[in-house]
């Protein structure tokens, strides 16, 4: 492919799916997945990396700067995503999978799509879910600077991207929106999910009265009651999501 050749809609969709998979600091020309997509498209890794930067510049959930003369597809795809949600992402993942199939040109598994099973349509369905989950987690990691918003714990492997309004009850956009999420350690993620903890509209942590006060062991939960949570860098939890968790999930 000649340098500077315009990106097609299909190519842009493939890059859009990859964008959802990668943390911002991995959307660079040296990343193996960026290189793999570049090889599949017959483009340079720098070209793919710039495309990801342009997509980020139009992402309302992140903060980025792209090229002023970027393709109109880069902006239009976000408008279409707002309108079509998961249907558009399914199409994007299909475009990425058609070019890569989970294996790069060196025979290495590509992290964002490689799944030994199932095959066919079900595989793309699962891949679409995985892509959305990756974007949600990556956005929360950036939003909370890789620290649990209850305890301040900063070990990535112990941090969980928690939905305030549960995944099953959320629409496609709510599923991936960082203002519908908290970055929590595994213990408090479980307590939050089970309605044993919540946050109020003032961003204070609250513990359910259903949690027994039985000495030092209960301090893992009760020790955080009424404390202010660690605030995110950009997108604070949205009030209607907080109200949903308090009204439907929290055990009073």
Sequence-distant (6+) residues with CB within 8 A of 44 are 3, 29, 38
pLDDT of 100 reads 78
Token reading at 223: 């020790």
So what's the pLDDT on residue 70?
A: 55
In the chain, where are the structural domains located?
A: 9-136, 144-249
Q: What is the pLDDT of residue 126?
A: 84
- pLDDT 10s digit of each residue in the chain, 252 long? 555 688 999 999 999 999 998 999 999 999 988 998 999 899 999 999 999 999 999 998 876 555 555 567 899 999 999 899 889 999 999 999 888 765 555 555 555 554 555 556 777 888 888 889 999 999 999 999 999 999 999 999 999 999 999 999 999 889 999 999 999 999 999 999 999 999 999 999 999 999 999 888 899 999 999 999 999 998 999 999 999 999 999 999
- Looking at residue 5, its pLDDT comes to 84
pLDDT of 193? 98
Q: What is the pTM of this model?
A: 0.85
Using an 8 Å Cβ cutoff, are 166 and 244 in contact? no
Helical spans, DSSP H, in 101-177:
120-143, 172-176
Query: What pLDDT shows up at residue 216?
Result: 85
d(Cα 169, Cα 166) in Å, to the nearest integer?
A: 5
Q: For residues 191 and 250, is the Cβ–Cβ distance under 8 A? A: no
pLDDT of the residue at 150: 98
What confidence score (pLDDT) does residue 63 get?
66
**Cβ atoms 89, 97 nearer than 8 A:** no
Q: What is the pLDDT of residue 173?
A: 87
């Amino acid at each position: 492919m000649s340098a500077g050749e315009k990106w097609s809609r299909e190519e842009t969709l493939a890059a859009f799916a990859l964008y959802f998979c990668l943390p911002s600091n991995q959307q660079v020309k040296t990343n193996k997945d960026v290189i793999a997509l570049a090889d599949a498209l017959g483009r340079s890794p720098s070209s793919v990396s710039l495309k990801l930067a342009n997509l980020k510049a139009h992402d309302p959930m992140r903060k980025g700067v792209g090229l002023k003369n970027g393709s109109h597809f880069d902006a239009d795809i976000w408008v279409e995503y707002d309108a079509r949600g998961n249907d558009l992402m399914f199409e994007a993942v299909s475009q990425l999978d058609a070019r890569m199939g989970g294996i790069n040109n060196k025979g290495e598994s590509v992290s964002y799509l490689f799944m030994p099973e199932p095959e066919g349509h079900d595989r793309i369905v699962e891949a679409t879910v995985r892509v959305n989950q990756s974007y949600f987690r990556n956005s929360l990691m950036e939003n909370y600077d890789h620290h649990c918003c209850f305890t301040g714990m900063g070990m990535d492997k112990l941090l969980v991207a928690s939905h305030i309004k549960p995944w099953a009850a959320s629409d496609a956009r709510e599923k991936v929106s960082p203002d519908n999420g908290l970055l929590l350690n595994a213990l408090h993620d479980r307590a939050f999910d089970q309605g044993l903890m919540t946050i109020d509209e003032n961003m204070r942590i609250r513990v359910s009265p259903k949690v027994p006060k039985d000495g030092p062991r209960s301090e893992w939960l009760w020790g955080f009651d009424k404390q202010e949570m660690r605030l995110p860098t950009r997108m604070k939890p949205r009030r209607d999501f907080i109200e949903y968790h308090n009204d439907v999930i929290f055990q009073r």
